[in-house]
Amino acid sequence: MNVRTKRCLKVLSVLVTVALIAKASYELKWCDLLWGIFRLETHPEKVQSVSLKSLAFVTLARHEIAFLHVMSERGWLFVKHYGRGMIFEKEGYEILITKRDFFNRYSFYEVTTREIFEAI
């Protein structure tokens, strides 16, 4: 192979690697989490809605009550805790919102049921 072909292959491999890292970040919702943390630290609201891939919310870990309040303002009634998630009910619909904690400081709540996105 000549030098030009090697350089093209090197550039192509770098682009593919960057694309794979971006895709993995998107699939693992790291972008959602980082955007929510940024908004949480720069805005006065205790609950930040992030929605790059799925419907998600970020709060400080100690503000679960604020998240429950936001959901009740949107018409969702808290039913019970179910493992690491919470079950909410509204007009006959039940949804499970899962909760994950990051850095012992932030809580990431996510709704994965796509049919419910418009209802929330």
pLDDT score for 77:
92
Res 116: pLDDT: 56
pLDDT at 72 over 70: yes
Give the chain's mean pLDDT. Answer: 82
Residue 71 to residues 6, 10, 11, 22, 109: CA-CA distances in angstroms?
A: 55, 50, 47, 31, 11
Give residue 118's pLDDT: 53
What ranges do the domains of the chain cover?
3-116
pLDDT recorded at residue 2:
87
